[in-house]
Chain A
Amino acid sequence: MAKLTVEIITGESIVYSKENVDLVEAPGADGSLGILPGHAKLVSLLASGEMKIRSEGNEEYFAVFGGFIEVMDNKVIILADSAERAGEIDLERVSQARDSAEAALRDRDEVVDIAEAETALRQAAIRERIGQRRRGSGS
């Protein structure tokens, strides 16, 4: 059976590149996208959220924040604004970031950019969830 080739690329580097992938689950702008081999050609915006890649029985998780995904002829190219592998998420720093974002929102300090703080809070929540999932699955 045909397999997928997957690349996750950000402006700074290639985060991930793999062949023989069975399934990609990505946070599309209009809801979650599940991509199997033989998927139709697709270009979609990405929301921020969790991405799952299954290959050879292993599952890997990533946090992605915005960007694009293109599927063409069993090639999946993810051009993310930012992407992190679950194992590389530093939970301690994430909870710090979450605390400071929450504090900023609570105090409604005039200097704080509310939208920015909300984004930071949302990103921290996503990172936390994905970082913890990796521990839960014990890999």
Chain B
Amino acid sequence: MPNPREIRRRVRSVKNMAQITRAMEMVAASKMRRAQDRVTSGRPYSERLREVLGDLASLQLDSEQLQEFPLLAQREVKKTALILITPDRGLAGALNSNILRRTVQYIRNESVDGRPQVIAVGKKGRDFAARTNQDLVAEFIRLGDRPGLNDIRPIAQIAIQEFLDGNVDAVHILYTQFVSTLSQTPVVLQLLPIERPEGSSDKAQDYIFEPNEKEVLNQLLPRYVEINLYQAVLENIASFYSAQMVAMRNATDNAKELSDDLSLAMNKARQAQITNEVAEIAAGANAFRT
């Protein structure tokens, strides 16, 4: 028979836990809201930039001109790099295992030689790469909850440099796309070479460029890479807090259920004890009477 006092101790510790997970849920909820706002307010810029690029997409570039814009140059892919964007922390349900499962899948099936260069953004991805002995070329951890474009620029620079030096023929990013509070999916996107968006045809022919076409594109293309990366990092943060909030809410609910069950068991045990004592006393009294 379980001791009521022991059960009471367990009830207390479960309730404490529920308090902590409840607090974490609230913190994650407020951070989530802000992170979601940032994702949505960052979207117009990347969409517009994509549009501008799309408008320019119909520019007739012959192979000689293409040489001037190496970020657009498609070549046979023999080696790839993966920018792995993950949260720094756990306690977010299945989020991290989902993204790492996707990573394994990428390494096996999409990286051509099974050994991509890995640029880890976020601690979980870094730890994964170190644990599984990947070719980790750079790591960026603790970017915080609201990174600016300036924090992202070095990451983009490394990727662009590796691509331009010919060390890799394509650069992909893997991050958790924020779909909604309840749903986040890991996705892989190609960052380099830049795939030119479909544009409204032959519009670009009569564009005026200042100072000139080359200068404009040479500024625009790296910016496009940066902004795509930035957006991915923002999505990752929003996904993380959403997943954490949901996970913590589940944990709080479970703790409540457990504490209810334990309270019931405790009361039963207490009643059983009292019944026992009463029975003993009655038996004792009976013994005197006869």
Contact = CB atoms under 8 A, between A and B. Distances in A.
Size class of the contact patch on chain A: 20 to 34
A41 B215 contact: no
A68 B219 contact: yes
A7 B48 contact: yes
Interface string B190-210: 000000000000010011111
A10 B43 CA distance: 10
B230 interface: yes
A19 to B, nearest CB: 16
B41 A43 contact: no
A67 to B, nearest CB: 8
Q: Would you call the interface of chain A mostly helix, strand, loop, or mixed?
A: strand
A12 interface: yes
Contacts of B216: 43-45, 68
Interface stretch (B21-29, B49-57, B165-173): B49-57
Interface residues of B, number: 27
B154 to A, nearest CB: 15
Contacts of A30: 210-211
B43 to A, nearest CB: 10
Interface in A31-49: 33, 40-45
A42 B211 contact: no
Contacts of B45: 9-11, 79
A43 B215 CA distance: 11
A11 B42 contact: yes
Contacts of B211: 29-30, 44-45
Interface in A99-136: none
Interface in A49-101: 68, 70, 72, 77, 79, 81
B2 interface: no
Interface in B67-118: none
Given A13-B41, A68-B219, A40 B48 contact: no
A29 B210 contact: yes
Interface of A: 7, 9-14, 28-30, 33, 40-45, 68, 70, 72, 77, 79, 81
Interface of B: 38, 41-42, 44-45, 48-49, 51-52, 55-56, 148-149, 203, 206-211, 215-216, 219-220, 223, 227, 230
25 contacts: A9-B45, A9-B48, A11-B230, A12-B42, A30-B210, A30-B211, A33-B210, A40-B208, A42-B207, A42-B210, A43-B208, A43-B209, A43-B216, A44-B210, A44-B211, A45-B210, A45-B215, A68-B52, A68-B223, A70-B52, A70-B55, A77-B51, A79-B45, A79-B49, A79-B52
